[in-house]
Structure 1
Amino acid sequence: MSNTQPVRGALLWQVVIWALFALVIAVLPYIFTSSSSISMMSQMGVFIIFALSYNMLLGEAGMLSFGHAVYFGLGGFFTLHAMRGVNDGAWSFPLELMPLIGGLGGLAFGIIFGSISTRRAGVTFAMITLGIGSMVESSANMFTDFFGGESGISGNRVLDVTLLPFSYGPSVQVYYLIGAWTVIAALLMYLLTKTPLGRISNAVRDNPERAQFVGYNTTIVRFMQFSLSGFFAGVAGGLFAIMFEIMTAPNVGLVQSGMVLLMTFIGGIGAFFGPIIGAVFVTYMHTALSGFSEGWILYFGLLFVFMVMYAPGGIAGVISAHFAPWRAGLMHRLLPGYALALVPALLAIAGLVGVVEMGYQLSLAYDPSQPIDLFYMQVNATSLVAWLVALVVLAGGIAGVLAAARVVRARWADVNRAMATTGEGT
């Protein structure tokens, strides 16, 4: 009885979390009602599935892939062709299940390419996936009947065949379709982590030699995980095709593969909810920054480097690290250090943005002397004073962050000692 109660409590807690996840998705359109917000939230749902499918490779099985967009993009292309077939009267299939077409397409090519790439591990596997991604992207201009060439292919998501009485023309209806698939796909991928395959994949990730020694075929384990990952990536691609009604060659390309790697790593591969956080964060920042600056890719690159160097566990890792101090009631010891680091961190960010934006203005603008709007001020990129101010703010912010970091480390050491004394652990 005493052993079953904690298990039931943990199961109930998981049910509550998933119910809240579904509830949040359901109520968001009532909070953020603009069409741009609904479109952005729909993209978040698509990329949550895509990032979680990538985490099946990197986080669960330790496979670093540089070509995961292949299965995302091919799933989208298959879905669009299926939608066009329904519109032409060639066959009948409900729109709500169209992402399954994309999933089966991703699964089929996951089996084909996975049978080759998963025979190797580590750097060799990564290079094989890079080659496959480059090959498929370059093939888009060769097989124009399927890929549509440079212009891609387009379709119409408003079909006569649906399971529910919706046309899926309005964006909010598409949002709820994507939201439903997001909950279903995320839940299935979570349950997969609890299966023997999920546990064995973790063993192959952590110690492939020991897993092989006790009798598991590590190649088969990697292959199965790779193929299933391709299925869920194809589902995400199918939803992407339904949302935008167009697919082009870059959707199977290396930039898309790099973006999902960025989402997964920034969110954190050590926890299941990490890629969800990463997909939401990167999608929002992409939407916000791309309208603000032409150098948004540079900002993402700098953020990625920062996360790799100072927070390799991603955002989820940072959150998880604070669970123990929170339970021990010691968070109040950490907050002053964080407050001390906040101001210089904001100054460093402001200085960096100033340097980057003025640099882009000088290199890309037709008239570099034209002032730019920066932090509600008019800044002239050709002014030496403006550059000196930006550099001084950047340098001062970095110096302040480094000084505050010593305080934060000292407070963490104090908290760890306190938890060790009380037996809470770190």
Structure 2
Amino acid sequence: MSTPSTTPLTAGTRRLIPLNHAMPWIVAAICLIILPYVFDSRSALTIMNQMAITIVFALSYNMLLGQGGMLSFGHAVYMGLGGFFCMHLLNMVEYDGLWLPLPLLPLFGGLFGLLFALIIGTFSTRRAGTVFAMISLGVGELIAACSIIIVVFFGGEEGVSGDRTMGPEVFGWDFGAQSQVYYLTAGWLLIAALGMYLYSRTPIGRIANAVRDNEERAEFLGYSQRHVRWISFCASGFFAGIAGALFAINFEILTEENLNLATSGSILLITFLGGVGFFVGPIIGAIVFTLLQTVLSLYTEIWSLYLGILFVATVMFFPGGLAGLLAMHVLPWKLGKLGHLIAPYAKMFLPAIAFVLSSAAVLEILFHRRHASVGDHEMTLYGITFDSHHLLPLIAALALAAVSFWALVKMAPALKEAWDEATHMDAPGAGGAS
């Protein structure tokens, strides 16, 4: 017999749970709406568009690696194929009179990526691990080679270009303005991200996690590991095709670079950098990678070296990625001991910044000494102009890097002690009267 007093609490809880789940998406939608007003330049909109496309692409890859345990070296194939197909649709709209509103184009890119995922997945998902990785590598190289041979579809070395403004207007928008393209991209980002999140919460998404963790046990329980991997593979190909369509809309050209091994490798790096085991991991990785690629590349030619160092350091010291690094602080926050880490972090902040900047200065000086034109000895770094071929700037940067690293090593035990205290769970009753 149930008590009447529990009924309102249960009903309130049922209403609260969907609201808690929807709140992050509502906040994300609001942020996407106001971002163009905060960063109103054309270059900022282009960077944000590229960031959104990379997020969709990285999330689709995480469906393979993070949720299904399938390491792929050819995932760019499905993004590229979806993008090329959409580019041909754009040309059909312009030259053949096809009626197709631009906001629907990513759906067709996703379906085209799904089509090839259905075909390729029938034989590539028979086995996981190294076998799947090698098959994906072979398929990626095969499609990349075909992009040069099958000129009628891939356009050869020049690629395929189109004009997104030739389609019918939607609510008065012809998508010639970069802000209009941004809102189209942001809308599909929300739709695709929500779709992938909901997929991860479905029974098939949960079973994919079980197959990833222990495929023999999943088989023993009656689930076909091959069918589960195949379904996840097809879903991943669909969302990768959406990313390819968004790329086609934004840049209005696709080439062989959009489906080769380098693009597949970069999305692998992005996903690992952000954190494979977290849904927000690829989002963080895509944001960091895009900023390094677009913003940092304006200031230094060796930005890819810094990206590689960051990736290696993340894999070595934070296997959970940047999202895992943030997740480590959830326990201290729940225990109410996050304040124990403020002082150690504050003390290590300046030495850490000094070490990063001085190490970068060493690399920049050495790069300028080696690659500067003949007679060009002057360089400017951090607002300071000096002779890069003189030993004094290099020695000063090395000395600062060594001193700051020594300071970090000396402070590390205090940080570990504070971390142990912040993550220590007090026994029930501890602190009571003795």
For residues 401 and 126 of structure 1, do their structure 2 counterparts lie closer, same or farther at Cα, with a shift above 3 Å needed? farther
Deviations 1:35-77 (A, max 9, x none): 1111111111111111111110111111111111111111111
Q: Distance in 2 between matches of 1:285 and 1:129?
A: 28
Q: Do 1:105 and 1:231's aligned partners in 2 also have CA atoms closer than 8 Å?
A: yes
Give 2:85's match in structure 1, choosing from 75, 78, 81.
78
Equivalences for 1:332-351 in 2 at 5 Å? 332-351=339-358
Q: Which segment is superposed worse, 339-348 or 197-206?
A: 339-348
Give 1:421's match in structure 2, choosing from 409, 412, 427.
427
1:195 paired residue number: 202
Kindly indicate whether residue 399 of structure 2 is the aligned counterpart of residue 389 of structure 1. no
Equivalences for 1:109-148 in 2 at 5 Å? 109-148=116-155
For residues 288 and 194 of structure 1, do their structure 2 counterparts lie closer, same or farther at Cα, with a shift above 3 Å needed? same
Equivalences for 1:28-177 in 2 at 5 Å? 28-177=35-184
Q: Distance in 1 between matches of 2:126 and 2:386?
A: 55
SS, match of residue 67 in structure 1? coil
Q: Which segment is superposed worse, 190-199 or 313-322?
A: 313-322
Structure 1 position 24, deviation (Å)? 0.6
Q: Which one-letter code corresponds to 1:153 in the other structure?
A: V
1:360 paired residue number: 367
Q: Which segment is superposed worse, 281-290 or 395-404?
A: 395-404
Q: Which segment is superposed worse, 222-231 or 106-115?
A: 106-115
Deviations 1:147-169 (A, max 9, x none): 11112111000023244321000
Q: Higher Cα Rg: structure 1 or 2?
A: 2
Q: Do 1:350 and 1:393's aligned partners in 2 also have CA atoms closer than 8 Å?
A: no
Q: Do 1:96 and 1:162's aligned partners in 2 also have CA atoms closer than 8 Å?
A: no
The unaligned stretches of length 5 or more in structure 1 are: none
Q: TM-score, normalised by structure 1?
A: 0.95
SS, match of residue 73 in structure 2? coil
Q: Do 2:337 and 2:423's aligned partners in 1 also have CA atoms closer than 8 Å?
A: no
Kindly indicate whether residue 244 of structure 2 is the aligned counterpart of residue 229 of structure 1. no
Structure 1 position 404, deviation (Å)? 2.6
Give 1:314's match in structure 2, choosing from 300, 313, 321.
321
Q: Do 2:331 and 2:423's aligned partners in 1 also have CA atoms closer than 8 Å?
A: no
Structure 1 position 79, deviation (Å)? 0.7
Deviations 1:4-33 (A, max 9, x none): 654542321111211111111011111111
For residues 5 and 194 of structure 1, do their structure 2 counterparts lie closer, same or farther at Cα, with a shift above 3 Å needed? farther
1:217 paired residue number: 224
Kindly indicate whether residue 298 of structure 2 is the aligned counterpart of residue 298 of structure 1. no
Structure 1 position 80, deviation (Å)? 0.4
Percent identity reads 44
For residues 25 and 387 of structure 1, do their structure 2 counterparts lie closer, same or farther at Cα, with a shift above 3 Å needed? same
Structure 1 position 422, deviation (Å)? 5.5
SS, match of residue 421 in structure 1? coil
Structure 1 position 104, deviation (Å)? 1.3
Q: Distance in 1 between matches of 2:398 and 2:375?
A: 19
Q: Distance in 2 between matches of 1:268 and 1:29?
A: 28
Q: Distance in 2 between matches of 1:386 and 1:246?
A: 44
Q: Which one-letter code corresponds to 1:421 in the other structure?
A: A
Q: Do 2:168 and 2:174's aligned partners in 1 also have CA atoms closer than 8 Å?
A: no
Q: Which segment is superposed worse, 364-373 or 114-123?
A: 364-373
Kindly indicate whether residue 368 of structure 2 is the aligned counterpart of residue 331 of structure 1. no
SS, match of residue 406 in structure 1? helix
Kindly indicate whether residue 371 of structure 2 is the aligned counterpart of residue 371 of structure 1. no
Q: Distance in 2 between matches of 1:81 and 1:206?
A: 41
Q: Distance in 2 between matches of 1:129 and 1:31?
A: 41
Q: Distance in 2 between matches of 1:5 and 1:165?
A: 43
Q: Which segment is superposed worse, 81-90 or 392-401?
A: 392-401
Moved over 4 A (4+): 1-7
Q: Which one-letter code corresponds to 2:114 in the other structure?
A: L
Deviations 1:239-273 (A, max 9, x none): 01100000111111122112212222222122212
Structure 1 position 3, deviation (Å)? 5.7
The unaligned stretches of length 5 or more in structure 2 are: 1-6, 430-434
Q: Distance in 1 between matches of 2:374 and 2:315?
A: 37
Structure 1 position 342, deviation (Å)? 1.3
Q: Distance in 1 between matches of 2:120 and 2:370?
A: 42
Equivalences for 1:393-404 in 2 at 5 Å? 393-404=400-411
Q: Which one-letter code corresponds to 2:42 in the other structure?
A: S
Q: Which one-letter code corresponds to 1:123 in the other structure?
A: T
Q: TM-score, normalised by structure 2?
A: 0.93
For residues 368 and 152 of structure 1, do their structure 2 counterparts lie closer, same or farther at Cα, with a shift above 3 Å needed? farther
Give 1:242's match in structure 2, choosing from 246, 249, 268.
249
SS, match of residue 164 in structure 2? coil
Q: Which segment is superposed worse, 355-364 or 91-100?
A: 355-364
SS, match of residue 130 in structure 2? helix
